[in-house]
């Protein structure tokens, strides 16, 4: 909106060390003055025609404040435009930008590896910790691919993805020689979770324990786990993961929890029941696979994050990508629409204290699971950072690597 004669409002702030104003000029450069609680606290010369974030360093105690913004512009067309004001917390929370990484590419492509290490501070194995890879035959565990990725991660954090999933299961689980009994399949699950979580103790600090178990109508998806064991497999999975590594943070992860849908409401109910029963679940992962034509807006995401945070859960965006094929036809307009979607997601994660990590589902467009033509990621087909990469980093206030 144009600033017109000025803007005054009461805001509730956390303990802050700076305010950031996103502004652009009108028909000519002009000045913007900031007053906090009636005191003049800084001025900005707004010269850029494009949106620009200006930072005013300012120690402010937590609590309600009265903010006023005035402009020196006198002609109507010269009034600067204000997009948003952000407070920078005095002790910034740890915030990480991560990517899903594939060992089949990483092992042979140095450019891919270098792109990951240069741009991201957290790693999620894209497929290497799924049961079909880790236990391809009963009792035969294969960790070479996951270990390769752990070495690539170096000192970065790793999200373990994922212990219990209805997809990417080995055939010996989905088509056993003789049918499972409840007890025999529970024993398989227990052995699997204990073995995998224990192996990466103190290396993988966050696990997607249970992935995508709710259907769009809110019921539990039919999987071999549900069919043979019943819904209790979910609770057992969290308890066994906790027993194997009591320090790990344990997540429920799903697609389509970003909006107020039957599925999202069912996830809230399920997680709230689990918490009430003392099941060790610490967070919820929002996959946020989306598209430029229909991405969840910042306010929608924040409403959803708050609903889960109110249960005492941490929130992460765990698999973000933004497909562009159905978007505008000009590449420039596509890139802009995509930048808006990413900006909204990153801003929501920054604004909600429970959210401390945003992970994109792939290092770059060339490696995306939905195909390079969708150009859905932050690095391009040659693993060069697109402008949207910097937008996300700025919105997450990440100054060092990822």
Task: List residues binding ligand XIL (CB under 6 A).
Answer: 126-127, 211-212, 255, 287, 319, 369
Q: Which residue's CB is nearer to ligand XIL, number 60 or number 241?
A: 241
Give the pairing type, strands 157-164 and 122-125.
parallel
The active-site residue out of 126, 258, 291, 319 is 319
Question: 2 vs 148, which CB is nearer to ligand XIL?
Answer: 148
Nearest residue to ligand XIL on Cβ basis: 369
Q: Is 212 a catalytic residue?
A: yes
Q: In terms of DSSP bridges, do strands 39-46 and 355-360 run parallel, antiparallel, or are they unpaired?
A: unpaired
Lookup: tokens for 15? 């303990």
The pair of three-digit structure tokens given for residue 321, joined into one six-digit string: 């990508």
Distances (CA, A) of 60 to 13, 21, 90, 212: 8, 16, 9, 42
Strand partners, 81: 2, 24
Q: Are the CB atoms for 139 and 382 separated by under 8 Å?
A: no
CB of 380 to ligand XIL, least distance (A): 18
**What is the nearest approach in angstroms of ligand XIL to the Cβ of residue 327?**
21
H/E stretch holding 204: none
Q: How far is the CB of 283 from ligand XIL (least distance, A)?
A: 15
C-alpha separations of 210 from 80, 237, 291 in Å? 49, 7, 25
Which residues are CB-contacts of 276 (< 8 A; sequence separation ≥ 6)? none
The partner residues of 71 in beta bridges, in order of sequence, read 32
The least distance separating ligand XIL from the CB of residue 128, rounded to whole angstroms, comes to 10
Q: How far apart are CA 151 and CA 200, in angstroms?
A: 12
Distance in Å from the first CA to the final CA of the chain: 32
Catalytic residue flag (residue 291):
no
And the tokens for 358? 């945003």
Nearer to ligand XIL (CB atom), residue 82 or residue 133: 133
* Nearer to ligand XIL among residue 206 and residue 287 (C-beta): 287
The Cα 87–Cα 85 span in angstroms is 7
- Output the smallest distance, CB 27 to ligand XIL, in A: 47
Closest separation between CB of residue 244 and ligand XIL, Å?
21
Task: Identify the helix (H) or strand (E) that includes residue 33.
Answer: strand 30-36
Q: Which residue number, 135 or 212, has a Cβ lying nearer to ligand XIL?
A: 212
Please count the residues of the chain: 402
**Which of 36-58 are b and which e, b meaning 16 or more Cβ less than 10 Å from the residue's Cβ?**
beeeebbebebeeeeeeebebee
Query: Considering 212, 258, 291, 302, which one is annotated as catalytic?
Result: 212
Query: What are phi and psi for residue 137, nearest 5 degrees?
Result: -130, 150
Based on CB atoms, which residue is closest to ligand XIL, 208 or 302? Answer: 208
Q: How far is the CB of 362 from ligand XIL (least distance, A)?
A: 7
Q: How far apart are CA 128 and CA 104, in angstroms?
A: 9
In this complex, which beta carbon is closest to ligand XIL, that of residue 46 or of residue 322? 322
Q: Which of 294, 301, 349 is nearest to 326 (CA)?
A: 294
Residue 303 Cβ, how far from ligand XIL at the closest point, in Å? 23
Among residues 347 and 359, whose Cβ is nearest to ligand XIL? 359
Active site residues: 212, 319
């Amino acid at each position: 909106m144009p600033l017109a004669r000025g803007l005054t409002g009461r805001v509730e702030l956390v303990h802050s060390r700076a305010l950031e104003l996103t502004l652009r000029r009108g028909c000519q450069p002009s000045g913007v003055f900031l007053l906090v609680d009636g005191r003049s606290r800084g001025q900005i010369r707004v010269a850029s025609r494009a949106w620009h974030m200006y930072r005013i360093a300012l120690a402010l105690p937590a609590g309600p404040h009265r903010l006023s913004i005035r402009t020196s512009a006198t002609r109507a067309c010269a009034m600067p435009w204000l997009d948003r004001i952000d407070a920078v917390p005095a002790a910034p929370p740890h915030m990480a930008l991560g990517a899903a990484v594939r060992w089949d590419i990483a092992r042979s492509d140095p450019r891919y590896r270098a792109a990951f290490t240069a741009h991201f501070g957290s790693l999620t194995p894209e497929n290497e910790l799924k049961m079909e890879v880790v236990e391809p035959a009963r009792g035969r565990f294969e960790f070479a691919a996951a270990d390769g990725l752990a070495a690539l991660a170096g000192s970065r954090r790793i999200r373990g993805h994922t212990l219990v999933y209805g997809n990417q299961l080995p055939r010996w689980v989905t088509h056993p020689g003789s049918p499972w009994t409840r007890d025999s399949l529970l024993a398989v699950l227990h052995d699997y979770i204990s073995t995998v979580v224990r192996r990466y103790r103190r290396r993988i600090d966050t696990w997607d324990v249970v992935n995508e178990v709710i259907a769009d109508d809110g019921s539990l998806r039919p999987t071999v786990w549900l069919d043979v064991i019943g819904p209790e497999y979910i609770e057992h999975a969290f308890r066994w993961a906790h027993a194997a590594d009591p320090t790990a943070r344990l997540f429920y992860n799903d697609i389509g929890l970003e909006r107020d849908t039957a599925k999202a409401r069912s996830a809230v109910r399920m997680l709230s029941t689990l918490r009430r029963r003392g099941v060790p679940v610490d967070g919820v992962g929002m996959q946020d696979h989306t598209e430029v034509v229909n991405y969840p807006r910042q306010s929608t995401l924040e409403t959803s994050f708050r609903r889960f945070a109110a249960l005492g859960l941490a929130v992460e965006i765990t698999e973000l990508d933004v497909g562009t094929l159905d978007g505008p036809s000009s590449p420039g307009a596509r890139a802009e629409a995509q930048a808006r979607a990413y900006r909204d997601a990153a801003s929501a994660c920054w604004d909600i204290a429970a959210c401390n990590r945003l992970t994109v589902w792939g290092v770059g467009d060339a490696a995306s699971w939905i195909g390079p033509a969708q150009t859905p990621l932050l690095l391009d087909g040659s693993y060069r950072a697109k402008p949207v990469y910097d937008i996300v980093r700025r919105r997450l206030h990440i100054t060092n690597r990822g």
